[in-house]
Chain A
């Protein structure tokens, strides 16, 4: 049906002209916009991440030697790994074993129980898949082996290797950071004044370079000229050198790491607490629910996915820790505070390129399994419970 136009029409914009050459380029760009947008990112990762990764793999399988002409790289199969896991460098990576003591036994039992529960829960979940089975076949034995390693090296007379030390930093460090960070966030989320002030102040440690933090903490922890020196001397610890004892040295590293990263957890958890559903909270308060019940039934469910994600981020970063142990203690005493990255770095400095790459690859392996497992077993369920 044709309708006559009653009102005068404005000059129409030029109708689409037949495609010119330039227009076709325009359209081609538009059609392929997706691929073009993602291309730079993919290229960067391929060139500076994937490619080096494979080269590193090759290095891990070679022996590096300085010769008259310069250097040579000879294929050596799994020799580097053998040395680290079973040979002369085993003490360095895995530690020196001893009788399994009380802590070790508790650790073993707890791990065994957890793995058993995980296997049974999975088998009964009804959502078994090939990928899931393969993943668990890799992850569970690894966790078992790690627990065994820790149990046998943590007792009297034993010595932790770099792998155990790294696990210590990750597990103890992140747990501590999460506990304190969340507690602070929860406190700050209450109805108080000056929240913005605290938010800014608490954020500052994130801005300091880890090297700077390391030196700062070295200054602070100094038993004789540090600011707490009077305190230590008062407690009779004036002659004690924290850097000479394996566990205190590790604790100082964790302290420095926590000082820097608690703010991160704080900021994210604070935002999570601030975005709880207020109407649910008010309803619960009106109903007379106590603080604990409110936390358990309303706050935690809304905050759990964020908590899981932020812990995952911290775990990913914690595996890579190197600046602090390097500067604070230089990996000492002995190898007590050496993280895996530091171990690899030290090997590199000693021109043992193959060994360095092997350690790095082991770190990659362990951290990937740990992070992916954490994501699968903790983050995903919490996110699914939410939605």
Chain B
């Protein structure tokens, strides 16, 4: 079923947490709400569930306007960050609880619980209590409980954040597969862009209650709608240079870059991804600077280049406000560079992004 947030606003007292949010999750889609803490993503999720009321706007599940429907009648299942397992009930009772509440006959209930437990590989743990399970197992119980009735939508609130890194990666894959197999519309909240990019069919990026961009991971990555999205997505993050823009040129303290945009902007920001830059011999690139540091990641090397004039007082640093910009450049793993070595940076104009003073994308 589709899940729709239609011009939803939410205020707590004087604080407006969500501002006219308009998001739709298509039937069977895996939609990720991505944002930092305080962006309103969890509030939005809870409003779909009915755990928070709307200040204005509508929530629709399928064709039904559920804005004023009680949470227990909305037919959604939620996986909480803490899993919210019932500590005094066994795994089997936890999983079967939604069925029990609906008065499902015992035989059916047992059968369905067992089948779902099989699907998440918990069949051996049905008689255990949550406190006897590991973090990963508890998470699977929470999933199983959500799966056991086929709700109109799954809602997930950072379900992987309490797992250690290795398990998290494994569960990500499992989750993606499971959602694909079940075909249930899923709205997933996270602050981790890797999770968002890998799991989502589409991503909705929220910042301070405002939707920044809604699109596929590829669209978000390759075609960010504004400065925030550009800087938020990508690891390492996109390089951002402040300067001004004249038709075809971006003027920056460290040099002038040719651009394809024709706008005239007194203040503008130029963005370019590390993988779209190369270090070249000093003087042969569009920017000149010195190597600040190099980091061997494994399959690639990151070179941080300080472009622009050396600040008064000597040592360039990321932390001084009047430093020239720092550019991160992704180079092959064998690349080597010495500290303070003068280098140039080469950038293709097609890989540049231009943003105006308000952060809007200039095409």
Using a CB–CB cutoff of 8 Å, the interface residues on chain A facing chain B are 1-7, 9-16, 27, 30-31
Contact A3 B150 (CB under 8 A): no
B352 sits at the interface (CB 8 A)? no
Contact A1 B28 (CB under 8 A): yes
Contact A13 B150 (CB under 8 A): yes
Nearest CB to that of B180 among chain A residues? A3
Contact B70 A13 (CB under 8 A): no
Nearest CB to that of A13 among chain B residues? B149
- Residue A6 contacts which of B115, B150, B181 (CB distance < 8 angstroms)? B181
Nearest CB to that of A15 among chain B residues? B75
User: With A and B bound together, what is the CA distance between A1 and B180 in angstroms?
Assistant: 11
Using a CB–CB cutoff of 8 Å, the interface residues on chain B facing chain A are 26-29, 70, 72-73, 75, 98-99, 102, 104, 108, 112, 115-116, 149-150, 180-183, 201
User: With A and B bound together, what is the CA distance between A15 and B180 in angstroms?
Assistant: 22
Which A residues lie within 8 Å of B70 (CB)?
27, 30-31
Question: Can you sample 8 A-B contacts with CB below 8 Å?
Answer: A1-B29, A2-B28, A3-B180, A4-B183, A9-B150, A10-B116, A13-B99, A30-B72
Pairs of residues from A and B, 4 with the lowest C-beta to C-beta distance, nearest first: A3-B28, A12-B150, A3-B183, A13-B149
Which B residues lie within 8 Å of A16 (CB)?
73, 75
Which B residues lie within 8 Å of A3 (CB)?
28, 180, 183
Which A residues lie within 8 Å of B181 (CB)?
5-7
Which B residues lie within 8 Å of A11 (CB)?
108, 112
- Residue A5 contacts which of B73, B98, B182 (CB distance < 8 angstroms)? B182
Which B residues lie within 8 Å of A31 (CB)?
70
Contact B28 A13 (CB under 8 A): no
A9-B182, A10-B112, A10-B150 known; 6 other A-B pairs, CB under 8 Å? A1-B29, A11-B108, A12-B150, A13-B99, A15-B75, A16-B75
Which A residues lie within 8 Å of B75 (CB)?
15-16
Which B residues lie within 8 Å of A1 (CB)?
26-29, 201
User: With A and B bound together, what is the CA distance between A27 and B75 in angstroms?
Assistant: 15
CB distance from B82 to the nearest CB of A (A): 23
User: With A and B bound together, what is the CA distance between A30 and B50 in angstroms?
Assistant: 13
Contact B102 A13 (CB under 8 A): yes
CB distance from A71 to the nearest CB of B (A): 56
Which A residues lie within 8 Å of B108 (CB)?
11
CB distance from B105 to the nearest CB of A (A): 11
User: With A and B bound together, what is the CA distance between A267 and B109 in angstroms?
Assistant: 47
Which A residues lie within 8 Å of B115 (CB)?
10
Contact A2 B149 (CB under 8 A): no
Nearest CB to that of B104 among chain A residues? A13
Which A residues lie within 8 Å of B104 (CB)?
13
Nearest CB to that of B98 among chain A residues? A13
Nearest CB to that of A14 among chain B residues? B102
Which B residues lie within 8 Å of A7 (CB)?
181-182
Given A9-B150, A13-B99, A13-B102, A27 and B112 contact (CB-CB distance below 8 Å): no
Which A residues lie within 8 Å of B27 (CB)?
1-2
User: With A and B bound together, what is the CA distance between A9 and B116 in angstroms?
Assistant: 10
Nearest CB to that of A9 among chain B residues? B150
User: With A and B bound together, what is the CA distance between A4 and B116 in angstroms?
Assistant: 19
Given A10-B112, A16-B73, A16-B75, A5 and B183 contact (CB-CB distance below 8 Å): yes
Nearest CB to that of A31 among chain B residues? B70
Which B residues lie within 8 Å of A27 (CB)?
70, 73
User: With A and B bound together, what is the CA distance between A12 and B182 in angstroms?
Assistant: 12
User: With A and B bound together, what is the CA distance between A174 and B72 in angstroms?
Assistant: 51
Contact A12 B73 (CB under 8 A): no
Which B residues lie within 8 Å of A10 (CB)?
112, 115-116, 150
User: With A and B bound together, what is the CA distance between A6 and B112 in angstroms?
Assistant: 18
User: With A and B bound together, what is the CA distance between A15 and B76 in angstroms?
Assistant: 11
Nearest CB to that of B26 among chain A residues? A1
CB distance from B99 to the nearest CB of A (A): 6
Nearest CB to that of A30 among chain B residues? B70
User: With A and B bound together, what is the CA distance between A30 and B73 in angstroms?
Assistant: 11
Greatest chain B CB density within 10 A among A3, A4, A7, A12 is at: A3
Which B residues lie within 8 Å of A2 (CB)?
26-28
User: With A and B bound together, what is the CA distance between A10 and B108 in angstroms?
Assistant: 10
User: With A and B bound together, what is the CA distance between A15 and B75 in angstroms?
Assistant: 8
CB distance from B340 to the nearest CB of A (A): 45
Which B residues lie within 8 Å of A12 (CB)?
149-150
Nearest CB to that of A6 among chain B residues? B181
